[in-house]
Structure 1
Amino acid sequence: MRQTHSENPLWPPSFSAAIFDFDDTLALTHDLWRQVDIAFLRSRGISYTPDVGRTLTMLGFAGGARWCIERYGLKDTVEEICDEWNSMGRALYATQVRLRQGAEEYLAALRSAGVPLALATTNDPDVLAAMKANVDVYGLFDAVVCAIEVGCGKDHPDIYLEAAKRISAKPGDCMVFEDLLQGICSAKRAGMKTCAVLSNNPLQDEREVVGASDCAIANWREALGTEK
């Protein structure tokens, strides 16, 4: 646990509502989306760079598609690009995605403590549904909010505010678990507490996300205090 005080604010929970990111927070998926990004760009004669990966992760499907069209002058429509990403993502998520060790136990502990849980993700509902056999996010959370529903990515606080609204929580009562710096900053702007979740993603600047958050964990056992 990386924090500025000795007590663990995550267990027992020092908050009355919790909002979670999915990709690289609850499940390590950065390699899967890197495969999707590389294949998508290569098919159009474009080289992948880490900065492209960071941008697409932050913007989500529709926002990322619009960015690609503007950046590279693509003739594809937003819908066509989203459909292509969806198709590739569904195939990978259906067989390869699992929750990080300790994540489900922490979610269950919060639920048992009466803490309402929301998922706030830039992922697409069809991709989330594809992994139901292995990870049923709609069964794990009281509310699931996708960026496509609020019309913007995690560079804006809208998705976190909508998640709080759906679980009838005030922003100041929420703890947001995120791996993205932009998401952490947006949640803070919404008046929420934040916990940075380290992911071993080479695109994540650990020093920046830890510095921007109220606390940070390297794995989910730390959240319950079962690993220091």
Structure 2
Amino acid sequence: MLNNIKAAIFDMDGTLIDSMWIWSKIDTDYLTKRNISVPNDLKGSIEHLTFEETANYFKNRFNLKDSVNDIMQEWNDMAYNEYKFNVDLKPGAKEYLNMLKAMNIKIALATSNNKLLMEMALKKNCIYDYFDAISTTDEVTRGKAFPDIYLLTANKLNIAPCNCIVFEDILPAVKGAKLAGMKVVAIHDTFSENQKKELIKKADKYILNYHEILTAI
């Protein structure tokens, strides 16, 4: 799987850390506070969007009076303590990062989360210093369904896309990374269980956890 690979690019939420439950809870709590029912299609509609695009989506779909900045600030406030104290790494994630380091493969992060929560989660789990480059979707004009963030990250690393492997947990992001010309591993997450069949089809490999690929090497 790592033949000709010089860099590994990881998503954060749902891929390196077990945190998707936080955003599902925030969506529900935020809308319930405003007496708005959570639509069944909400998760699928927003999962590939940037943080700001998601706030715009909420404002327009639910006809909210709050500004986009106010929406994002409220979400950040709701997420702060969870990211500071309650998010843990996916099983085997740190061991896999250590293995990549030992193999001199560069490590990067490509996330839709914001810088504050991202840094907090990585530092809480003692892996912040593992990354040779970090990119957020705030740095590009399109979300993870497109190749932009992956190409930006490869450029930061000065590694050709064909020599990069990407780890993601949702279908739109897997498709975006494939459009970037990169090898893609899809990792299981409870919140993308409904996409499992398509993830297996679209990704180069599908894994339940990092122990699965550690033992295969």
* TM-score for both structures, normalised by structure 1: 0.89
1:131 aligns with 2:116: no
Cα distance between partner residues in 1 of 2:167 and 2:194: 14
1:34 aligns with 2:45: no
Cα distance between partner residues in 1 of 2:205 and 2:4: 12
Amino acid at match of 1:35: K
Kindly provide the CA deviation profile for residues 142-170 of structure 1, in whole angstroms up to 9, marking residues without a partner as x: 11111112233212211111111111111
Give 1:77 shift: 1.4
CA contact (8 A) 1:161 1:190 kept: yes
1:197-216 to structure 2, matched below 5 A, reads 197-201=187-191, 204-216=194-206
Give 1:133 shift: 4.8
1:225 aligns with 2:184: no
Match of 2:185 in 1: 195
Aligned residue-pair number: 217
Which of 15, 24, 35 is matched with 2:14 structurally? 24
Aligned CA RMSD, in angstroms, stands at 1.8
1:1-228 to structure 2, matched below 5 A, reads 9-10=1-2, 13-201=3-191, 204-225=194-215
Identity %: 35
Q: 1:197 to 1:132 in 2, by over 3 A?
A: closer
Kindly provide the CA deviation profile for residues 33-59 of structure 1, in whole angstroms up to 9, marking residues without a partner as x: 111111111122211234212333321
Cα distance between partner residues in 2 of 1:94 and 1:69: 27
SS for the counterpart of 1:120 is strand
More displaced 10-residue stretch of structure 1: 162-171 or 40-49:
40-49
Kindly provide the CA deviation profile for residues 173-205 of structure 1, in whole angstroms up to 9, marking residues without a partner as x: 111111110001011111111111111225541
Amino acid at match of 1:179: D
**What runs of 5+ residues in structure 2 fail to find an aligned partner?**
none
Amino acid at match of 1:145: S
* TM-score for both structures, normalised by structure 2: 0.93
Kindly provide the CA deviation profile for residues 106-165 of structure 1, in whole angstroms up to 9, marking residues without a partner as x: 011101111111101111111122335522453121111111122332122111111111
